Amino acid sequence: MIDALAQALAELDAQGLKRRRRTLETPSRAHMLIEGRPVVAFCNNDYLGLAGHPELVNAARQATVEAGVGAGSAHLVAGHHKLHEQLERELADFVGMPDALLFSTGYMANIGAITALVGRGDAVFGDRLNHASLVDACLLSRAELTRYPHGDLDFLEAKLKASSAKTKLVVTDAVFSMDGDIAPLPELLALCERHDAWLLIDDAHGFGVLGEQGRGVLWHFPSLLTPHASRLIYMATLGKAAGVFGAFVAGHATLIEWLVNKARTYVYTTATPPLLAAAVSASLRLIAAEDWRRERLHALIAQLKAGMAGLPWTLMPSDTPIQPLIVGDNAAALRLAEGLRARGLMTPAIRPPTVPAGTARLRLSLSASHEPADIERLLAALQELA
């Protein structure tokens, strides 16, 4: 059996699909030390540069004194600390929804919410470019799954109209993690209202970045807010722009109470350390108060776009910190990433099955902690490698 695995790994390597980890030796930030080498990192999702912020560190330190390190048990046993409770109220208020529920990860939040709401005899509809956690959650639910072409509302409406399922659920990324584009959420919500379906929005890459004060995609499209809360299921992660760890689902109070009772990834796992909840609370205050972080981020995005002219690779249209540079061939994407790494620039080569075959790319992630000089250095290296 080990020989078979070794052969399969060799085949992945030959196809340019084998992955490896690189060991980080400093806090997550724009300038890091990876395996002993200083690099400018265009590879993480710390979009606002908050992961190592002193206020978050201090909040976590103080909470450790108050609450210890581990939660000790599941939320429904004795692990639900007052810091968790406080953060859930803050998160609901922050995104403009009636109630919220903390989960350990975005993967667990999506699996827990979807499998609690639909099952055999129901129907779930997902954008073909949805994150793997949404795809896996739909499959685990045992509901009938329809994957519609990316952003194809006509196709989706035809399938919704034809479905006789008792419960229908549409699931979508808000910002697509490998393309950086934003889903047509107002139009999706209108479809769900016409065909009596739930709409689950995964805002992992929009929370903290989009909307007024970084309150996420619901504030980027204000028409999504009340009175539609009873139809919306909103999920966002806390380890990207928020700079900490975890995730939450927000929605109608009755929905959240149902998830407390029926979301298996919430019921049957130990609660996250309370110190993380305290750090997220501190992060929310900074996200709301420091608009300069988003302003700087947008200026860096504009700078990158302006400097890409004349390069042989295509920068996909995106107004978010995710800037995908399409290379095409797996081996070519790996060579380009390695060429940048040799010049002290860390960029991930994204290959199938994460993206469709023939669309291997560099996923350039920008952060408010980057300097304009970092963007110029990246552009100069790409020109040289071209």
Please identify every residue annotated as catalytic. Answer: 177, 205, 240
Tokens, residue 375: 């963007």
Q: Is 177 annotated as a binding residue?
A: yes
Q: Is 298 annotated as a binding residue?
A: no
From CA 327, how far away is CA 355, in angstroms rounded? 12
From CA 209, how far away is CA 253, in angstroms rounded? 26
Q: Is 81 annotated as a binding residue?
A: no
Please return the burial class of 25, using the count of CB atoms within 10 Å of its CB with bins 0-12, 13-18 and 19+: exposed
Q: Is 150 annotated as a binding residue?
A: no
Q: Is 293 annotated as a binding residue?
A: no
Residues near 169 by beta carbon (within 8 Å), at least 6 away in sequence: 114, 117, 118, 122, 123, 124, 125, 143, 197, 198, 199, 200
Q: Is 131 annotated as a binding residue?
A: yes
Q: Is 19 annotated as a binding residue?
A: yes
Residues near 245 by beta carbon (within 8 Å), at least 6 away in sequence: 238, 239, 272, 276
Strand-pairing partners, residue 346, are: 41
Q: Is the dihedral of CA 75, 201, 291, 43 positive or negative?
A: positive
Q: Comparing C-alpha atoms, which of 379, 214, 382 is closest to residue 303?
A: 379
DSSP secondary-structure letter at 256?
H
Q: Is 52 annotated as a binding residue?
A: no
**What ranges in the chain are assigned the alpha helix state H?**
2-14, 54-67, 82-95, 106-117, 132-141, 153-162, 185-194, 217-220, 253-262, 264-267, 274-289, 291-307, 330-342, 372-385
Distances (CA, A) of 143 to 100, 139, 249: 25, 7, 21
Which residues are known binding-site members for pyridoxal 5'-phosphate?
A: 106-107, 177, 205, 237
Which residues are known binding-site members for substrate?
A: 19, 131, 354
Which residues are known binding-site members?
A: 19, 106-107, 131, 177, 205, 237, 354
